[in-house]
Chain A
Amino acid sequence: MLNTYRYPKFEYRTPPEMAAPGRKGHYPVVVVGAGPVGLGTAIDLAIQGVPVLLLDNDNTVSIGSRGVCYAKRALEIMDRLGCGQALVDKGVSWQVGRTFFRDQEVYSFNLCPQPDHHRPGMINLQQYHLEERLVARAGQLSNIDLRWNNNVVSVAAGDNGATLSVETPDGFYSVSCDWLIAADGARSHVRKLLGLDIEGRVFMDRFLIADVVMQADFPPERWFWFDPPFHPGQSVLLHRQADNVWRIDFQLGWDCDPEEEKKPENVIPRVRAMLGDDRPFELEWVSVYTFQCRRMRSFRHGPVFFIGDSAHQVSPFGARGANSGFQDHDNLAWKLKLVIDGKAPDRLLDTYSEERGFAADENILNSTRSTDFITPKSKVSLLFRNAVLGLAGKHAFARALVNSGRLSVPSYLTQSRLNTADEAPFSGAMVPGAPMDDAPILGPDGNAWLLGALGNRFQLLYFVDDAAAIDGRTAVALGSLADDAVPVEPLVVARSGVAPSGLKTLIDVAGRIAERYDATAGTAYLARPDQHVAARWRSFDPLKVRQSVAVATCNAVPVTMEAQ
Chain B
Amino acid sequence: MPLITENNFFEPGKRYFREFSPGDEFYEALLEAHQNLTDEQSAQLNARLILLLANHIGDIAVLREAMRLAREDI
Residues of A within 8 A of B (CB): 366, 369, 372-373, 378-381, 384, 388, 390-391, 394-397, 399-401, 403, 406, 409, 412, 414, 429, 434
- Bitwise interface map of B from 25 to 64 toward A, beta carbon under 8 Å scored 1, else 0: 0111011001001010011001000000000000000000
- Most chain-B CB neighbours within 10 Å: which of A397, A399, A412, A434? A397
B11 sits at the interface (CB 8 A): no
Q: Is the CB of B34 within 8 A of A397?
A: no
- CA of A396 to CA of B23, assembled, Å: 12
Collect the chain A residues with CB atoms within 8 Å of residue B9's CB: 397, 400
Q: Is the CB of B24 within 8 A of A366?
A: yes
> Shortest Cβ distance from A386 into chain B, in angstroms?
11
Q: Is the CB of B7 within 8 A of A379?
A: no
Collect the chain B residues with CB atoms within 8 Å of residue A379's CB: 39, 42
- CA of A396 to CA of B5, assembled, Å: 6
Additional pairs, 16, CB under 8 Å, beyond known A380-B31, A395-B69, A400-B20 = A369-B27, A380-B34, A380-B37, A380-B46, A381-B31, A396-B6, A396-B7, A397-B4, A397-B8, A397-B23, A400-B19, A401-B23, A401-B26, A406-B24, A412-B17, A414-B15
> Shortest Cβ distance from A98 into chain B, in angstroms?
16
A-B contact pairs, 12 of them (CB 8 A): A373-B27, A378-B34, A378-B42, A384-B27, A395-B69, A396-B6, A396-B7, A397-B8, A399-B7, A400-B19, A403-B20, A434-B17
**The one of A378, A394, A396, A403 that contacts B27, using a Cβ cutoff of 8 Å:** A403
Collect the chain A residues with CB atoms within 8 Å of residue B5's CB: 394-397
Collect the chain A residues with CB atoms within 8 Å of residue B68's CB: none
Residues of B within 8 A of A (CB): 4-9, 15, 17-20, 23-24, 26-28, 30-31, 34, 37, 39, 42-43, 46, 69, 72-73
Q: Is the CB of A400 within 8 A of B23?
A: yes
Collect the chain A residues with CB atoms within 8 Å of residue B34's CB: 378, 380-381
> Shortest Cβ distance from B48 into chain A, in angstroms?
14
- CA of A379 to CA of B43, assembled, Å: 10
Known contacts A380-B34, A380-B37, A384-B31: does B6 contact A429 (CB below 8 Å)?
A: no
Report whether over half of chain B's contact residues are helix, strand or loop; otherwise say mixed.
loop
Inter-chain CB contacts under 8 Å: number = 62
Residue of B whose beta carbon sits closest to that of A435: B17
> Shortest Cβ distance from B3 into chain A, in angstroms?
10
Report whether over half of chain A's contact residues are helix, strand or loop; otherwise say mixed.
helix
Residue of B whose beta carbon sits closest to that of A109: B20
- Most chain-A CB neighbours within 10 Å: which of B8, B28, B72? B28
- CA of A366 to CA of B23, assembled, Å: 12
- CA of A369 to CA of B8, assembled, Å: 19
Q: Is the CB of A390 within 8 A of B6?
A: no
Collect the chain A residues with CB atoms within 8 Å of residue B42's CB: 378-380
Collect the chain A residues with CB atoms within 8 Å of residue B7's CB: 396-397, 399-400
- CA of A434 to CA of B20, assembled, Å: 18
Collect the chain B residues with CB atoms within 8 Å of residue A429's CB: 17
Q: Is the CB of B20 within 8 A of A397?
A: no
- CA of A187 to CA of B23, assembled, Å: 34
Residue of A whose beta carbon sits closest to that of B42: A380
> Would you list the 6 A-B pairs with minimal beta carbon distance, nearest first?
A400-B7, A380-B42, A395-B5, A400-B23, A412-B17, A397-B7
Q: Is the CB of A384 within 8 A of B30?
A: yes
**The one of B20, B23, B24, B73 that contacts A390, using a Cβ cutoff of 8 Å:** B73
Collect the chain B residues with CB atoms within 8 Å of residue A373's CB: 27
- Most chain-B CB neighbours within 10 Å: which of A378, A391, A396? A378
Q: Is the CB of A409 within 8 A of B24?
A: no
- CA of A380 to CA of B32, assembled, Å: 11
Collect the chain A residues with CB atoms within 8 Å of residue B69's CB: 391, 394-395
Residue of A whose beta carbon sits closest to that of B22: A400
Q: Is the CB of A401 within 8 A of B8?
A: no
Residue of A whose beta carbon sits closest to that of B46: A380
Collect the chain B residues with CB atoms within 8 Å of residue A409's CB: 18
Collect the chain A residues with CB atoms within 8 Å of residue B72's CB: 394
**The one of B8, B18, B31 that contacts A372, using a Cβ cutoff of 8 Å:** B31
- CA of A395 to CA of B27, assembled, Å: 16
> Shortest Cβ distance from A388 into chain B, in angstroms?
8
Collect the chain B residues with CB atoms within 8 Å of residue A390's CB: 73
> Shortest Cβ distance from A125 into chain B, in angstroms?
24
Residue of B whose beta carbon sits closest to that of A409: B18
Collect the chain B residues with CB atoms within 8 Å of residue A378's CB: 34, 42
- CA of A381 to CA of B42, assembled, Å: 10
> Shortest Cβ distance from A209 into chain B, in angstroms?
25
Residue of B whose beta carbon sits closest to that of A368: B28
- CA of A102 to CA of B18, assembled, Å: 28
Q: Is the CB of B28 within 8 A of A369?
A: yes
Residue of A whose beta carbon sits closest to that of B35: A378
Collect the chain B residues with CB atoms within 8 Å of residue A369's CB: 24, 27-28
> Shortest Cβ distance from A553 into chain B, in angstroms?
25
> Shortest Cβ distance from A390 into chain B, in angstroms?
7
Collect the chain B residues with CB atoms within 8 Å of residue A403's CB: 20, 24, 27
> Shortest Cβ distance from A13 into chain B, in angstroms?
47
Collect the chain B residues with CB atoms within 8 Å of residue A381's CB: 31, 34
Residue of B whose beta carbon sits closest to that of A369: B24
> Shortest Cβ distance from B8 into chain A, in angstroms?
6
- CA of A412 to CA of B46, assembled, Å: 35
> Shortest Cβ distance from B28 into chain A, in angstroms?
6
Known contacts A384-B30, A395-B69: does B20 contact A406 (CB below 8 Å)?
A: yes
- CA of A40 to CA of B43, assembled, Å: 51
Residue of A whose beta carbon sits closest to that of B36: A378
Q: Is the CB of B27 within 8 A of A401?
A: yes
- Most chain-B CB neighbours within 10 Å: which of A384, A388, A414, A429? A384
- Most chain-A CB neighbours within 10 Å: which of B5, B20, B42, B43? B20
